[in-house]
């Protein structure tokens, strides 16, 4: 398979971020995003439930020849699916919701993106639909929020323009960065689908336990949990540990002890 | 007249740059540029010979409500006319021609733009037509070149995206900058129409003198002269001085002396 990374990314052996568009409405914008990706050396595009289906010819005609991100774009049903194999995702939004995720500027996140790229920690840049933006529940699946410093009196930034700014900062970081000697003293975070498995287990159990009360608060309670856990960037081992924790907590300490005792009794025979 | 500057520019009492589009082809792009200007707090738009005339309704429909740069856009016949009252103009181009103008990144020019804005030295950001880009002769009227660091393998940056990047850097500079205490120990440069008057006089005289030989080299010779002189950022007084220089050189030292002698003779009577 041909290495699609441009020279600096290839020479530095980086694993660059992918671009994820959530429910994009206009094929024009998808094409414009592909063009910007080509301008700044990225190639992996993921689409979550594009409004008018996929492929759409108009995207290609708007990309000015930057066809490769479109040719290989992958389509997903949900944001969770689209980011399942990633380890760190930034959501871009002009109006950061009240959430406990770190909020950074495009410039502020470029360094982190670069470090992850250098460590082959696969990252994603998530952008919302043209008018609606991102759902708060999808933002809660991410590990950080990028906000572009537009004038508060006119915040309506075109989708491709938002991508443009973030990828421009990525590119500058790649061009400016000396080959860094990051010390990789931490294990890589787990793929997000693994983390989401933990969330699901936890929330199912909490549901059964009547934790989400009153019911109309459930969505925001879930989001707050996910955000708080997400910031921890669990490793796979830690996810396993915490799944065990949830199991232990729900099955009851007594049962675990009972089973252990039972096993020991057998072993003792 | 209402102050259209957004809060930081107003509070800092800045004279922000204007945006100049040379022969824009698509009203869509003009509208998209207006939107970006609103995003990053600029309002003054100048159009050089828009291909399909002006006004064009489609620009307004593409601006997402950023109407004010369009409502007050001024149209000019040539780049020289459009920049006549400015003192410093950056040309943005992906492929810097061989010229002796300083080439800077969007980030690299933001500081200079800010200093000029603070000193009420009116600046302009010039962008070329969608496909054709800028004429080398128009670049030669500018004092610097901005190049956006796109991937050399895919340089085709959409017009509004190029404006987007440059204005984003302007905005960051405005937001980041503490109120600076620039020492204003230099006189302001002359308005560019005054400088162009000097160029015209000089070139007319050189033409008469048979300087532009062979004739097919004339255009590039003119450009090289303008670029070299433009870097000096002459004050008005200096322009007057140099016009006098040209006159003196062309009328001949003898004649100047003769007239002076004549005058003195009269005075002596």
Token pair for B228: 């070299």
Q: For A194-242, write each residue's pLDDT tens digit.
A: 889 999 988 988 888 888 888 898 888 888 788 777 777 788 888 888 8
Selected residue with higher pLDDT from A87 and B248: A87
Decide the pairing of beta strands B18-22 and A103-104.
unpaired
Distance from CA of A93 to the nearest CA of B (A): 14
Residue A10 to residue A32: CA distance in whole angstroms: 24
Segment among A3-12, A122-131, A257-266, B228-237 with least mean pLDDT: A257-266
Q: For B162-183, write each residue's pLDDT tens digit.
A: 999 999 999 998 887 654 444 3
Residue A16 to residue A10: CA distance in whole angstroms: 10
Chain-chain contact of B151 with A35 (C-beta, under 8 angstroms): no
With beta carbons less than 8 A apart as the criterion, state whether B198 and B240 touch: no
Query: Which residues are within 8 A (CB) of B70 and not within 5 positions of it... i.e. 6 or more apart?
Result: B30, B31, B34, B45, B55, B59, B60, B63
Selected residue with higher pLDDT from B260 and A209: A209
Q: How confident is the model at residue A48 (pLDDT cuts 50, 70, 90)?
A: very high
Interface of A with B in 215-234 (CB under 8 A): none
Q: For A111-133, write each residue's pLDDT tens digit.
A: 889 988 988 889 999 999 988 88
Using a CB-CB cut-off of 8 Å, the residues of chain B touching A40 are: 150-151
For residue B24, the SS3 value is coil
Token pair for A184: 């990789």
DSSP symbol at A129:
B
Count of CB atoms situated within 10 Å of the CB of A156: 16
- pLDDT at residue B227 in the model: 78
Q: What percent of chain B has pLDDT over 90?
A: 41
Residue A79 has pLDDT above 50, yes or no: yes
Q: For A91-108, write each residue's pLDDT tens digit.
A: 998 776 666 778 888 988
Which of B12, B70, B161, B166 is the best residue to mutate to test the A interface, defined by the most A CB atoms within 10 Å of its own CB? B161
- pLDDT at residue B263 in the model: 53
Average pLDDT over residues B132-138: 88
Nearest CA in chain A to B164: A161
Which one of B149, B154, B171 has the shortest CB-CB distance to A175? B149
Nearest CA in chain B to A162: B164
Using a CB-CB cut-off of 8 Å, the residues of chain B touching A151 are: 6, 38-41, 171
Distance from CA of B100 to the nearest CA of A (A): 24
Distance between the two ends of chain B, CA-based, in angstroms? 58
Using a CB-CB cut-off of 8 Å, the residues of chain B touching A10 are: none
Decide the pairing of beta strands B123-127 and B18-22.
parallel
Selected residue with higher pLDDT from A239 and B34: B34
The answer to whether residue A246 neighbours chain B at the CB level (below 8 Å) is no
The answer to whether residue A32 neighbours chain B at the CB level (below 8 Å) is yes
The answer to whether residue A199 neighbours chain B at the CB level (below 8 Å) is no
- pLDDT at residue A26 in the model: 95
Segment among A9-13, A70-74, B27-31, B147-151 with least mean pLDDT: A9-13
**What are the start-end ranges of the E strands in chain B?**
18-22, 45-48, 74-76, 88-92, 103-104, 123-127, 144-146
Residue A27 to residue B26: CA distance in whole angstroms: 18
Residue A173 has pLDDT above 50, yes or no: yes
ipTM computed for the complex: 0.70
Distance from CA of B256 to the nearest CA of A (A): 57
- pLDDT at residue B259 in the model: 55
Q: How confident is the model at residue A261 (pLDDT cuts 50, 70, 90)?
A: low
Selected residue with higher pLDDT from B159 and A4: B159
Distance from CA of B142 to the nearest CA of A (A): 25
Using a CB-CB cut-off of 8 Å, the residues of chain B touching A171 are: 149-151
- pLDDT at residue A217 in the model: 87
Residue B239 has pLDDT above 80, yes or no: yes
Domains in chain B (CATH in brackets) are 7-176 (3.40.1280.10), 192-268 (no CATH)
- pLDDT at residue B97 in the model: 65
The answer to whether residue B168 neighbours chain A at the CB level (below 8 Å) is yes
Selected residue with higher pLDDT from B102 and B72: B72
Mean pLDDT estimate for chain A: 84
- pLDDT at residue B184 in the model: 42
- pLDDT at residue A96 in the model: 67
Which one of B65, B156, B165 has the shortest CB-CB distance to A168? B165
Bridge partners, A92 (sequence order) = A127, A146
Q: For B98-113, write each residue's pLDDT tens digit.
A: 667 788 889 888 888 9
Which of A158, A169, A170, A177 is the best residue to mutate to test the B interface, defined by the most B CB atoms within 10 Å of its own CB? A158
DSSP symbol at B133:
B
- Residue B57 has φ and ψ, to the nearest 5°, of -55, -35
- pLDDT at residue B260 in the model: 52
Using a CB-CB cut-off of 8 Å, the residues of chain A touching B168 are: 148-149, 165, 168
Selected residue with higher pLDDT from B208 and A7: B208
Which one of A149, A155, A156 has the shortest CB-CB distance to B172? A149
């Amino acid at each position: 398979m041909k290495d699609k990374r441009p020279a600096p990314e290839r020479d530095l052996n980086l694993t660059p971020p992918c671009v994820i568009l959530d429910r994009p409405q206009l094929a024009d914008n998808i094409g414009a995003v592909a063009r910007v990706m080509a301008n700044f050396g990225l190639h992996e595009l993921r689409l979550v439930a594009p409004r008018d289906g996929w492929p759409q010819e108009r995207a290609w005609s708007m990309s000015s020849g930057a066809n490769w991100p479109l040719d290989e774009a992958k389509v997903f049903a949900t944001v969770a699916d689209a980011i399942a194999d990633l380890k760190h995702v930034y959501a871009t939004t002009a109006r950061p919701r009240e959430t406990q995720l770190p909020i950074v500027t495009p410039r502020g996140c470029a360094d982190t993106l670069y470090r992850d790229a250098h460590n082959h920690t696969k990252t994603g840049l998530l952008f919302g639909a043209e008018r609606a933006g991102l759902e708060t529940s999808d933002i809660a699946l991410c590990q950080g929020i990028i906000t572009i410093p537009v004038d508060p009196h006119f915040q309506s930034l075109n989708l491709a323009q938002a991508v443009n700014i973030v990828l421009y900062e990525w590119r500058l970081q790649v061009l400016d960065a000396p080959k860094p000697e990051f010390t990789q003293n931490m294990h890589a975070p787990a793929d997000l689908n693994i983390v989401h498995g933990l969330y699901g287990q936890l929330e199912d159990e909490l549901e059964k336990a009547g934790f989400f009360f009153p019911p109309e608060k459930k969505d925001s309670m879930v989001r707050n949990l996910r955000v708080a856990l997400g910031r921890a960037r669990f490793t796979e081992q830690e996810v396993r540990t915490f799944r065990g924790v949830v199991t232990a907590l729900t099955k009851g300490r007594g049962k675990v002890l009972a089973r252990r005792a039972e096993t020991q009794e057998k072993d003792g025979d």
